[in-house]
Amino acid sequence: MENTKILLLDDREENLISLKAILSRDDIEIYSTTSANEALRIVWENEIAVALVDVQMPGMDGFEFAETLLSNPKTKEILIVFVTAISKETTYAVRGLKTGAIDYLYKPLDPYITNAKVDSLIRLARSQKEIRDKNKLLENYATIILNSPDIIATVEPETGNIISVNPSVEKILGATPNHLVGTTILDLLVDPVNSSLREVLVKKSYIGGETNVVEDRFFGRLRQPVWLELRIMYKNRLLFVNLHDVEKRKAHERALIDAQSQAEKARKVKEAFLANMSHEIRTPLNGIIGLGNLLSATQLDPSQRDLIDMLRQSSGSLLNILNDILDISKIDEGKFSIIPTSTDLRVLGKGIIDLMRFKADEKNLKLSLIKDDRLPECVMVDGMRLNQILLNLVGNALKFTQTGHVNCKMELVSETQMGHKIKFSVEDTGIGMSDEHLANIFSEYGQASENISHQYGGTGLGLTISQKLVRLMGSELEVNSRSNEGSQFFFTLILPDANEKSIEIKPSIAFQDLPPFTGKTVLVAEDNPINALLLKKYLKTWLLDTTMVLNGKEAVDALRERIFDLIILDTRMPEMDGFQAASFARNQLMVKTPILSLSATVLPEEVQQALESGMNDTLSKPFEPEKLHKKIAILLKEEDHN
């Protein structure tokens, strides 16, 4: 506890020394002076609690000094005791008490009496100071409550009656405090029966002493509902309730929910558009690629073989554009994953050069793979996506280069704790770009300029998808270019060593050379005549006993009549689609036969829908005959085990 400060005022120094000796103790701090003016300075600068003042002094006597203290708000609380040797007469004592003193000490001083009186005065001073401090605190709290923008109320727990409420209630709810006192707070609610506040009062969840926080709707001005957040605390058998206006936050939350709903609707519209677009493009594209496969299996002269190769290259380019559009959509929605596998960079680079060689030869360009001899044998990277990036960059470079060369480079920059830091770059001696054109090259569906699109063709998707893929791998696709001097696109990846060597990709086998499925029966539902023709050709080549129908309803009717070893269903068909047919077959006909879904979309939602409807596996169009054969082999093998 802080020491109590005492002032000793006497015009004789020996009396001050005597008083100090009597009052010497650890819990008080003594200030002494022989001058009344000096004493006034001391009480002004220090929080003096008790003053022992001599009555007779030259200049300003004790009575005048006491009157001065009593007249000033800052010093009027000081407890004054007169010390005198003049008189004990009543009139003399009364005069001193009227000037502000509370007691007298008479000289010569008795040490025991002096100490006892001073001790009682110290206790009184401390008690008064504590009361004053609490009063100030209460005044501050009252100011805060009266001026708070929140409604602050005291409520009777048992009845919910309002005992007191601050003026903010009028601004927020449009009711005066006097009108609300004595009424129940539940009457102010829009729905008191189902309110959170009523639940707190009924369950008495406030008893534990913790603050309860709930939200409820109250009738505001003009009976318009307004959301308030209630912080409820229980003390001294009362509920102290702070009601904060959260209508703006609630409105913001409603706006966010509406925006989220609109975004969800837009997402579904976008998904539906992409699914329809994918289906409408992939279905005829599957026919084009399939017919190319069928023609390539026939006897052709060299010129016809070249035409078939060009047909397959063109259809492959169209498929790549479609896949780029879908990949961008999946990346933007966060549904795209990078899956590192063991990859031999030398093999990957050679595959890119071999694939793009014909384009370089058409324009008499030199296409080279420049690889660092220090490259590790195998690294962990998503080889398919890295291949896609470099193919896009090399394809672009060949498109925009008329003379000279295109180089695909792989360079080991350094070794780090995380793995090998490898720089991938594609350099060309093509048309290059100005600084102005560089700003647009990574934008979606944009190119360096409109003239580029007219003169060289293309959608402008290649660099967009490449940049997004590079970022998913933790890097950034960068470019150095000058107009008419060529371009360099590059990025750097940190790739760890692979524990296993990469799996060698086996060359594809012509569909007519794949092993047969002798004696097996298959039901196929496909409404597109060209795709139906292709499937029938493939399946009969593999010696499958094939039954063809046009839609899901016909497939269900066929399943009522006989049992098949395999069912192949297109997902989108008239009358009954593949999902409905599969679900009916599983749940109504109790068919156990494996079902393969053929879909012209590659959206994960449709794959999931196929599996949930009862299908065993999916294959997206356009497909290579070898993939279809592999899927059939797996499903028939599973059927044999069952």
pLDDT tens digit sequence for 282-309? 777 777 777 777 787 778 888 787 777 7
Which position has the token pair 């300075």? 41
273 contacts: CB under 8 Å, gap ≥ 6: none
Chain segment 146-172, per-residue pLDDT in tens: 888 899 999 999 999 999 999 999 999
Taking residues 191-211, what's their average pLDDT? Answer: 89
Q: Is 458 a residue whose pLDDT tops 80? A: no
- What's the rounded Cα separation, in Å, for the pair 348 and 325? 24
Q: Choose between 461 and 260: higher pLDDT.
A: 260
pLDDT confidence bin for 459, thresholds 50/70/90: very low
* 437 closest CA partner among 426, 446, 449: 449
- Please give the pLDDT value at position 289: 77
Q: Is 91 a residue whose pLDDT tops 90? A: no
- Please give the pLDDT value at position 445: 47
- What's the rounded Cα separation, in Å, for the pair 347 and 341? 14
- Please give the pLDDT value at position 335: 65
pLDDT confidence bin for 214, thresholds 50/70/90: very high
Judged by DSSP in three states, 602 sits in coil
Least confident of 75-79, 125-129, 296-300, 467-471: 296-300
| Pair 4, 50: CB distance under 8 Å | yes
pLDDT confidence bin for 453, thresholds 50/70/90: very low
Chain segment 567-604, per-residue pLDDT in tens: 999 988 888 999 999 999 999 999 999 999 988 766 77
Read off φ and ψ for residue 79, nearest 5 degrees.
Answer: -85, 115
Chain segment 498-524, per-residue pLDDT in tens: 876 655 556 667 788 899 999 899 999
Q: Is 221 a residue whose pLDDT tops 70? A: yes
| Pair 531, 524: CB distance under 8 Å | no
pLDDT confidence bin for 456, thresholds 50/70/90: very low
Q: Choose between 208 and 312: higher pLDDT.
A: 208
Q: What is the dihedral of CA 607, 610, 611, 613, to 10 degrees?
A: 160
Taking residues 201-229, what's their average pLDDT? Answer: 90
Least confident of 90-104, 376-390, 506-520, 576-590: 90-104
- Please give the pLDDT value at position 275: 67
- Please give the pLDDT value at position 264: 82
Q: Is 237 a residue whose pLDDT tops 50? A: yes
- Please give the pLDDT value at position 141: 77
- What's the rounded Cα separation, in Å, for the pair 382 and 341? 6
- Please give the pLDDT value at position 502: 55
Percent of the chain with pLDDT over 70: 88
- What's the rounded Cα separation, in Å, for the pair 418 and 381? 13
Q: Is 72 a residue whose pLDDT tops 60? A: yes
- What's the rounded Cα separation, in Å, for the pair 183 and 410? 81
Task: Count the alpha carbons within 13 Å of 342 in the hemisphere toward its beta carbon.
Answer: 11
| Pair 56, 86: CB distance under 8 Å | yes
Judged by DSSP in three states, 565 sits in coil
Read off φ and ψ for residue 506, nearest 5 degrees.
Answer: -80, 145
- Please give the pLDDT value at position 97: 76
Q: Is 84 a residue whose pLDDT tops 90? A: no
Least confident of 92-101, 430-439, 481-490: 92-101
- Residue 305's identity, in one-letter code, is R
| Pair 250, 258: CB distance under 8 Å | no
- What's the rounded Cα separation, in Å, for the pair 181 and 185? 9
Strands (E), 236-352: 238-245, 341-343
- Please give the pLDDT value at position 43: 92
573 contacts: CB under 8 Å, gap ≥ 6: 525, 526, 527, 550, 551, 552, 581
pLDDT confidence bin for 210, thresholds 50/70/90: confident
Judged by DSSP in three states, 595 sits in strand
549 has which bridge partners?
A: 525
* 486 closest CA partner among 425, 411, 400: 400
pLDDT confidence bin for 126, thresholds 50/70/90: confident
- What's the rounded Cα separation, in Å, for the pair 165 and 44? 40
- Please give the pLDDT value at position 227: 93
Q: What is the mean pLDDT of the chain?
A: 85
Q: Is 32 a residue whose pLDDT tops 70? A: yes
- Please give the pLDDT value at position 446: 47
Percent of the chain with pLDDT over 90: 40
Q: Is 454 a residue whose pLDDT tops 60? A: no
Taking residues 179-206, what's their average pLDDT? Answer: 91
260 has which bridge partners?
A: none
Tokens of 297: 């299996």
- Please give the pLDDT value at position 388: 86
* 489 closest CA partner among 390, 353, 371, 365: 390
| Pair 493, 474: CB distance under 8 Å | yes
- What's the rounded Cα separation, in Å, for the pair 154 and 150? 13
